[in-house]
Amino acid sequence: MEQEIRDDYRTVAGWLLYYHERRAAYEQRREEILQSSTASEYCQAPARAGISDATGKRGVKLADLEETGEWLTLVTEIEKGLPPKLCLLLRLRREALYAKTRLRGRPAWVSYAQGKYANEIAKRTGRRPSDCWVEDRTLFSWWDKIVTYATIKASKRGLL
């Protein structure tokens, strides 16, 4: 049971972190399916290739994308429903995936997010970054809260 929970959390965290990449791939794939030429599909398909109707084939391909669309909608709703500090953390967590850091020890996203979070909140509030510093266990707690909330929502929608 614990492994299943960890797997669900990992799945949800993946959707939260890689949302923009998956949205772009989804839109590109959807557009490719919608723009595919019926004539070329008809010419290339063998006589007994399953669905002979080109529109039907497109429908099947679009249906395969439906679950991805549901995940993307869920992540969009989660982002809109998060309090500002958690929304900022999610954004920083995504940025940290591609940040080039030479940090060792704990996960690199924590140090990255701590510094960026303190600077951003300091700009917003007019305080010093040192006054806005957040401990790493707080960041872990906030991340866990985001993932737990998203996991519950995904479960309710039958995505897990």
Q: What is the pLDDT of residues 5-37, one digit of tens each?
A: 999 999 999 999 999 999 999 999 988 888 876
How confident is the model at residue 11, as a pLDDT?
97
Number of structural domains, the chain?
1
Percent of the chain with pLDDT over 90: 68
Structural domain range at position 72:
2-156
pLDDT of 104 over the 90 cut: no
Q: How far apart are CA 47 and CA 5, in angstroms?
A: 46
Q: What is the per-residue DSSP string for 15-71?
A: HHHTHHHHHHHHHHHHHHHHH--HHHHHHHS-TTSS---HHHHHHHHHHHTHHHHHH
pLDDT (tens digit per residue) in 107-143: 789 999 999 999 999 999 999 999 999 999 999 999 9
Q: How far apart are CA 65 and CA 78, in angstroms?
A: 20
pLDDT of 79 over the 60 cut: yes
Question: Of 80, 117, 74, 118, nearest to 95 (Cα)?
Answer: 117
How confident is the model at residue 50, as a pLDDT?
53
How confident is the model at residue 38, as a pLDDT?
55
- Please tell me which of 44-48, 77-81, 94-98 the model is most confident about, judged by mean pLDDT: 77-81
Average pLDDT over residues 61-81: 91
Instruction: Report yes or no: 69 and 149 within 8 Å, Cβ to Cβ.
Output: no
How confident is the model at residue 30, as a pLDDT?
87
